[in-house]
Amino acid sequence: MKLSIKHLDKLSKLFPPELHGILVYGPDAGHVSEVSQKIGKSHVEDLRDPFQVEELSVNEIKEDPALLTDAAMSLPMTGGSKLIIIRECTDVLTSNLEEISRLESIEAKFLILSGTLSPRSKLRKLFEDNKRLGALPCYTDQEGDLRSLISTAMSEAGVSMRPEALQYLVTYLGSDRLTTRSELNKLILYAGDNNEINLQTVIDIIGDGGPIVLDAIPSSIADGDIKSFLIALDRHNSDSQNPISILRTTISYFQKLRTARALVEQGRSAKDAISSLRPPVFWNKKLDFERQLKRWSTNQLNDLLERLQDAEVLCKTTGYPAMTITSQILLGLCIKGSKRSLSS
Which domain CATH number covers 180?
Answer: 1.10.8.60
For residue 343, pLDDT beyond 50? no
Among 117, 137, 157, give the residue marking a domain's end: 137
Q: Is residue 254 part of a domain?
A: yes
pLDDT > 90: what percent of the chain? 34
Q: Is the pLDDT of residue 300 over 60?
A: yes
Q: Domain count for the chain, please give it.
A: 3
User: Do 252 and 235 fall into the same domain?
Assistant: yes
> Are residues 84 and 147 both part of a single domain?
no
* 342 located within any domain: no
What pLDDT does 236 receive?
A: 64
| Residue pLDDT, tens place only, 38-87 | 999 999 999 999 999 999 999 999 999 999 999 999 888 788 899 999 99
What average pLDDT does range 234-248 have in this prediction? 69
Domain boundary among 205, 235, 257: 205
Alpha helices in 199-242, H assignment, sequence order: 199-206, 210-223, 226-238
Q: Is residue 198 scored above 80 in pLDDT?
A: yes
- Please check the confidence at residue 288 and state whether its pLDDT lies above 60: yes
pLDDT at 237: 63
| Residue 214 confidence class, pLDDT cut points 50, 70, 90 | low
pLDDT score at 342: 43
pLDDT over 50 (residue 241): yes
343 inside domain:
no
Q: Distance between CA 250 and CA 164 in Å, rounded?
A: 24
Mean pLDDT across the stretch 214-243? 77
Q: Answer yes or no: do 196 and 131 share one domain.
A: no
Q: What mean pLDDT is predicted for residues 280-302?
A: 84
Residues 37 and 123 in one domain: yes
Same domain, 248 and 300: yes
pTM for the whole structure: 0.57
If you ran DSSP here, which 8-state letter would residue 36 be given?
A: H
Give domain status of residue 272, yes or no: yes
Q: Does residue 296 belong to any structural domain of this protein? A: yes
- What DSSP letter does each residue of 67-135 carry, written as one string? HHHHHHHPPPTT-S-EEEEE-S--GGGHHHHHHHHHSS--SEEEEEEES---TT-HHHHHHHH-TTEEE
Per-residue confidence (pLDDT) for residue 29, from 0 to 100: 80
- Decide if 30 is inside a domain: yes
More confident: 314 or 25? 25
* Structural contact between residues 88 and 113, judged by C-beta atoms closer than 8 angstroms: yes
Domain containing residue 171? 143-205
Last residue of a domain, one of 83, 107, 137: 137
Q: Is 195 inside any structural domain?
A: yes
pLDDT for residue 344: 37
Q: Do both 319 and 232 map to the same domain?
A: yes
Both 129 and 170 in one domain: the answer is no
Look at residue 56 and tell me if it is in a domain: yes
Q: Does residue 341 register a pLDDT over 90?
A: no
Listed range (108-112, 122-126, 233-237, 273-277) with the worst mean pLDDT: 233-237
The reply to whether 18 and 78 lie within a common domain is yes
220 and 186 in a common domain: no
Which CATH number covers residue 26? 3.40.50.300
pLDDT tier, 143 (very low <50, low <70, confident <90, very high otherwise)? low
Three-state secondary-structure class, residue 173: coil
Residues 284, 297, single domain; the answer is: yes
Q: Exposure of 328 by Cβ count < 10 A (0-12 exposed, 13-18 middle, 19+ buried)?
A: exposed
User: Where residue 284 sits, what CATH number does that domain have?
Assistant: 1.20.272.10
Q: Are residues 27 and 76 in the same domain?
A: yes
Does 251 lie in the same domain as 188? no
pLDDT by residue (tens digit) across 80-119?
Answer: 899 999 999 999 999 999 999 999 889 899 999 998 888 8
Q: What is the pLDDT of residue 39?
A: 96
